[in-house]
Amino acid sequence: MSDRYGGGPEGEDALARLKRSVVEHYESRLARYGATARGMDWKDEASQNLRFEVLSGICNLGGRSVHEVGAGAGHFVDYLASRGLRVGYSGSDLSAAMIKSARTRHPGVRFERCDILDGPVRESHDVILCSGLFHVSLRTPEDAWLDFVKRMVSRMFEMCRLGIAFNMLSSRVDYRKDGLYYSESADMLDFCRRELSPHVALCDDYPLYEYTLYVYRDPPPPGSGWSAGVGPDQPDADHAGTQRGGER
């Protein structure tokens, strides 16, 4: 994997600045809109829950340990409860404000302020999920953002026992917005197959301009994958689109 940050202090400073800018962006949304979908920088709850539905298609989550990277205010816990799914859930986020909000909303659920790139893997889980973290690159150069994405995805895979699921904006869109990162699904699929595992599935058949990748350590369990599961209630036509930010 290429390293756009270098191995010295200068490279680490650039990575630290990237992370800090991401935290500041999301904390500004939280401060403005509260612990809502818009406060997580999604357009609405319908599109947020659709992403949760697709990510959950990686396998039958019931009874498994699931860790969410970039957990925000813990809306995935609400989703799990609405579906009656009992899982061993935990979440992490770089933002102290997000973690405080998540703990307030879900007392007793384990949320931790944590940078998964910091140090060795401390704990493993059956499934690692990440929704939306790789969409908003802000002013980060594209090559540096892509390197950050690859680092994160690789570390997520180190943390899993069964597999990981994450989503990204597709480059196949009819318009683009500044500050968002668009990628070719074929490129990310190739990266995951070369660097992580040959057992990779691509899901891009839901009505948003993005795609989701499932990466498994071994051939996936029967019934895994978005198309094998029961689809969600489809959002209305005006929910289709980039779906980042309530006003952008």
Task: Provide the number of structural domains found in the chain.
Answer: 1
- How much of the chain, in percent, has pLDDT values that exceed 90? 80
Asked if residue 227 is part of any domain, the answer here is no
Q: Which amino acid is at 106?
A: H
230 assigned to some structural domain: no
7 pLDDT tier (thresholds 50, 70, 90): low
**pLDDT tops 50 at residue 202:** yes
Lowest mean pLDDT among 94-98, 146-150, 162-166, 169-173: 169-173
Question: Which amino acid does the sequence have at 57?
Answer: G
Residues 38-85 have pLDDT tens digits of 999 999 999 999 999 999 999 999 999 999 999 999 999 999 999 999
Tokens matching residue 45: 């709850």
Position 221 pLDDT exceeds 70:
yes
Does some domain include residue 231? Answer: no
Judge whether 245 lies within some domain. Answer: no
Whose tokens are 């390197």? That residue is 147
Instruction: With respect to residue 242, please indicate whether it lies within any of the assigned structural domains.
Output: no
For residue 92, give its domain range.
9-220
Q: What is the CATH number of the domain that holds 118?
A: 3.40.50.150
Instruction: Say how far apart CA 126 and CA 148 lie, in whole Å.
Output: 23
Q: Residue 246: inside a domain, yes or no? A: no
Q: Which residues contact 214 (CB under 8 A, 6 or more apart)?
A: 57, 58, 163, 164, 165, 200, 201, 203, 220, 224, 225
pLDDT digits (tens, 9 = 90+) for 84-138: 999 999 999 999 999 999 999 999 999 999 999 999 898 999 999 999 999 999 9
pTM: 0.87
Is there a domain that residue 60 lies in?
yes
Q: Is residue 238 part of a domain?
A: no
Which pLDDT does position 3 carry in this prediction?
A: 53
